[in-house]
Amino acid sequence: MAVELILMENVDKLGKIGELVRVADGYARNFLLPRKLAAKATPGTLRQLEAKKVQMQVEYEHQITAARELAEAINKASVTLPVQASDDEKLFGSITGKQIGDALAEMNIHVDRRKVALAEPIRQLGMYSVDVHLHPEVNATLKVWVVRA
């Protein structure tokens, strides 16, 4: 049996705040309602939701502004990583998002290593453009130079 609820928070793979959703009774009773992620549609819930929407909008704009400032700093930066490599320019090991994040941290640009988007680890010397996903709407591109130590 399905239940109609109003989302009080953004819920991944379900919807955004303020949306009316139909979910299974057990999902509503055991997950959404106890965590206050959703509520039954009543006039009081709607008033509460409007106040929360204003607060969420202000917080969202603050997050976007901070992400854009960080993206600007990352776009201007470039990271040089000295590593050992063979004669044919293949690395002994590889460069991962963690190493790039650590190099940024040394420059006082703090980014979570999971935000550094590498399809696969870097295994050769050269210059690479690496995407950094700071926010769903804000991305930055970092120049990474992998050089012989």
pLDDT of residue 125: 96
Please give the model's pTM, rounded to 2 decimal places: 0.70
Q: Give the neighbor-by-neighbor strand order of the sheet with 138-148.
A: 78-83, 138-148, 126-135, 116-117
Give residues with Cβ within 8 angstroms of 20, minimum separation 6. Answer: 4, 5, 6, 41
Domain 69-148 maps to which CATH number in 1.10.10.10, 3.10.430.100, 3.90.1170.50, 3.90.226.10? 3.10.430.100
Going from N- to C-terminal start, the domains of the chain cover: 2-66, 69-148
pLDDT of residue 134: 92
Give residues with Cβ within 8 angstroms of 131, minimum separation 6. Answer: 116, 117, 139, 140, 141, 142
CATH class of 2-66: alpha beta
Q: Tens digits of per-residue pLDDT, 104-116?
A: 999 999 999 999 9
Task: Flag residues of the chain having pLDDT under 70.
Answer: none
